[in-house]
Amino acid sequence: MSEHELTDQDEINSKVLRAGRRTYFFDVRSTRAGDYYLTVTESKKFTHDDGSFHYKKHKIYLYKEDFDAFRALLDEMTDYIVQEKGEEVISERHQKDFRRVDPSHNGSTDSTGNYVDLSFDDI
């Protein structure tokens, strides 16, 4: 069995968060012993002057025994930022990458961030 097949087999559940030029992948995977762990991958698109592009990826691995401590620190730090800077304040530098997600809308967005109405017949 190839490593690619093994990787696909070990992936249990996945979710994707698109955030401007960044995309975050949350993947539940399984160890050989059958334990689950989480990988969080940040993928950021970079465009060259000639129009070609590449992605830079950074990945963290989070194991069950670290979930509580990780969650506590993440909550603490995000609460700190919201309290200090407010939820709506985004620097001008990052404003171009920011797109507010409308949780009441189930459609997808086009390249400009506008919602596109899709039905299952379109897929």
Domains identified in the chain and CATH numbers: 3-99 (3.10.450.700)
Question: Band of the pLDDT at 20, cuts 50, 70, 90?
Answer: confident
Q: What is the pTM of this model?
A: 0.61
Q: What is the DSSP letter of 85?
A: H
Instruction: Quote the pLDDT of residue 1.
Output: 47
Tens-place pLDDT, residues 84-111: 887 665 666 566 555 555 555 545 455 4
